[in-house]
Structure 1
Amino acid sequence: MSSKTFAAEVKGVETASVERERGPVTRMHRRELLIATGALAVGTLAGCASGGGPRQTPPGTRETLDAAAFRASRRFVETRFGRIAYVERGTGDAALFLHGFPLNGFQWRGALERLSPYRRCVAPDFMGLGYTEVAEGQSVAAGAQADMLVALLDSLSISTVDLVANDSGGAVAQLFVTRYPERVRTLLLTNCDVENECPPPAVLPVIEMARAGTYVDQWLAPWLADKPLARSEAGIGGMTYTHPTQPTDEAIEYYFAPLVRSPRGKDQVHAYTVALAPNPLAGLEPALKRCTVPTRILWGTGDTIFSQASADYLDRTLPNSRGVRRIPGAKLFFPEEFPDLIAEEARRLWGVG
């Protein structure tokens, strides 16, 4: 394939944006091509952020916030919900980053590095995932997670945030913005649950494994022990990451070690998984239609967990939506793979840089 042909393919990442006044987006049909050349695509996406601002990390260069740096930055806040783990970078107005399942705040390391010159960036670990220690008897359902975030922000003396979310973190974000609209300046949503797809059908077998107490031992433990397996088509990589080199060894270790290596960790992640049903967003649509928070939606078209229709649902339901940008071929956890894209869209939504 010529360099000109590839450039035309990748250009779709920058131009496939759906605004209210525009017609339907034209999708790239050769998804396999994008994924097969994903390593080069990552480098191309690094150039998406326009104008000045944070330095751009060249392809293959180690992030400043590697696992060791992230671990060293981890802090805890004591709340009635438990000891909430979080990482914070930057100063000024705050931005709150909500991760997906079964990940933790490490998912946002690239975005934190790029956006900390503009915001006080806070990435917590949800109750039941990561390094947060849940209080005895505490619910870890999405509604309780939203209330926990209020306690965390109050402890950090943060009154309002720009909210950025992915996957099940997007469900929590929708509950948070409808319950506490005065605390949210802007909302940036990536592939996530919506009311009529919560939980998505692909997650139902996982919930059943968690109910039986087997999810960690059947899926997470083997992935932690065999990282190439984790990146394979049968692992979390093939299911939810765009490029076959993802997630990295250190990411797999950081995500799954606290969930696998103690009975408490197993119990907490099983509780989180079971709490994904029944639908925590049931009946939320009227409240979303009253939400006036400026919202931008980024949606990977290669996602096999959440449907493309869910992006359109959010766009037409949220009255102050700034439209949908579709990312050709990108799977569920693309925010981790393409942090420059997240930074570009966040800065535009925030009106900075």
Structure 2
Amino acid sequence: MHELELPQGTVRYTDTGGAGPVVVLVHGAFVNGELWRDVVGPLGRVARVVVPELPLGSHQVALRADADLTPPGVARLLADLLAALDLREVTLVGNDTGGAICQLVATAHPERLAKLVLTNCDAYENFLPPAFRYLQLLGRLPGGIWLLAQSCRSRAVRRLPFAFGWLSATPVNRERSDAWVRPVLDDKGVRRDVSKVLRGISSRYTLRAAEQLREFHRPVLLAWGRRDRFFKPAYAERLAGDIPGARLVWFENAATFVPVDAPEQLAALIADFVHPAGKGADRLVG
């Protein structure tokens, strides 16, 4: 795990290093880079893979108290990270809330991007999905996120539909879910950060980004799990119709967390997407 000092504070990230196309994997709310761990290994054979830990509730180091953590502010943070690491011709890959942030980066800070991949994520008026809007209320209530964190001490609660239960078709193991909830349990600065994020979320940002993506003339891949109850297939179809030349690929047995449900297939798809003539997946073998 590396650390980078940005104007907003310290951001941790992993980096496979090496040559090849640069792929940046972006997680969503209340998870961290552990979401992508089964994708990084195979994809790292054919690309340099960078996984930042954004201040979305499972980050290990709180940002400065005055950091802008509205959706545009988090997008600026991600763009600042790309610039600080001097990453160029980046393929940006987003999931869940991270997909919304990637849309804002693509429309407001596209200068370092070559390609965009969206897996199941917030889009249009679905930011947050209705089932998770209670989180925004908790973000506004004094002590609300602390209470949420205490409830997540129970692994049974984590498996409920309004927690992680319906986000993946594959059960999330204890080690991974512990890594997701430990920071918000242990650090009041992390709780402060995610409260700010939740208070700032509004569909006006994703609706505006969707309009601007109509003018995004770079390759776009939509890798969507059909079994998603929150980011339903209709959103993928709508994005595919609105973004010029976007390619839509279905994962039949995946839900929101495609990196958990179908990591090898997703890695192969991204590998082909980032390599000329779609030969990346062939190099994953072995």
Structure 1-normalised TM-score? 0.73
SS at match of 2:88: coil
Query: Relative to structure 2, which stretch is displaced further, 127-136 or 150-159?
Result: 127-136
**Which ranges of structure 2 fall in alignment gaps of 5 or more residues?**
none
SS at match of 2:208: coil
* Cα distance in 1, alignment partners of residues 37 and 258 from structure 2: 13
Offset at 1:234? Answer: 4.6
Matched, 1:112 2:40: yes
Offset at 1:275? Answer: 2.0
Give the counterpart letter for 1:317 in structure 2: D
Matched, 1:247 2:247: no
* Conserved 8 A contact 1:181-1:293: no
* Cα distance in 2, alignment partners of residues 190 and 347 from structure 1: 15
Give the counterpart letter for 1:330 in structure 2: A
* Cα distance in 1, alignment partners of residues 43 and 69 from structure 2: 29
Aligned to 1:282: 207
Matched, 1:91 2:18: yes
Deviations 1:3-53 (A, max 9, x none): xxxxxxxxxxxxxxxxxxxxxxxxxxxxxxxxxxxxxxxxxxxxxxxxxxx
Give the counterpart letter for 1:171 in structure 2: A
Q: Which has the larger radius of gyration?
A: 1
* Cα distance in 2, alignment partners of residues 75 and 256 from structure 1: 21
Aligned to 1:350: 274
Deviations 1:248-283 (A, max 9, x none): 111122111111112222212222222223532232
- 1:212 counterpart (123, 138, 141): 141
Aligned to 2:194: 269
Q: How does 1:133-152 map to 2 (within 5 A)?
A: 133-152=62-81
* Cα distance in 2, alignment partners of residues 186 and 234 from structure 1: 33
Offset at 1:329? Answer: 4.1
* Conserved 8 A contact 2:214-2:242: yes
* Conserved 8 A contact 2:43-2:268: no
Give the counterpart letter for 1:141 in structure 2: T
* Cα distance in 1, alignment partners of residues 269 and 24 from structure 2: 15
Q: How does 1:58-207 map to 2 (within 5 A)?
A: 74-92=1-19, 93-129=21-57, 130-207=59-136
Deviations 1:210-257 (A, max 9, x none): 21145434433322x2224323x35633221212xx221111221111
- Aligned CA distance change for structure 1 residues 133 and 266 (closer, same or farther; 3 Å): closer
* Cα distance in 2, alignment partners of residues 181 and 237 from structure 1: 32
Q: How does 1:273-312 map to 2 (within 5 A)?
A: 273-277=198-202, 279-312=204-237
* Cα distance in 1, alignment partners of residues 209 and 187 from structure 2: 36
SS at match of 1:282: helix
Deviations 1:137-196 (A, max 9, x none): 111122111211222122212123111110111111111111233311111111111123
Give the counterpart letter for 2:237 in structure 1: D
SS at match of 1:195: coil
* Conserved 8 A contact 2:123-2:235: yes
SS at match of 2:207: coil
* Cα distance in 2, alignment partners of residues 207 and 160 from structure 1: 35
- Aligned CA distance change for structure 1 residues 194 and 211 (closer, same or farther; 3 Å): same
Deviations 1:279-308 (A, max 9, x none): 322323332111011111111122121222
SS at match of 1:283: helix
Query: Relative to structure 2, which stretch is displaced further, 284-293 or 339-348?
Result: 284-293
C-alpha RMSD over aligned residues: 1.8
* Conserved 8 A contact 2:123-2:210: no
* Conserved 8 A contact 2:100-2:123: yes
Aligned to 2:242: 317
* Conserved 8 A contact 1:165-1:190: yes
Aligned to 1:41: none
**Which ranges of structure 1 fall in alignment gaps of 5 or more residues?**
1-73
Query: Relative to structure 2, which stretch is displaced further, 89-98 or 207-216?
Result: 207-216
Structure 2-normalised TM-score? 0.89
* Conserved 8 A contact 2:258-2:266: no
Offset at 1:332? Answer: 1.1
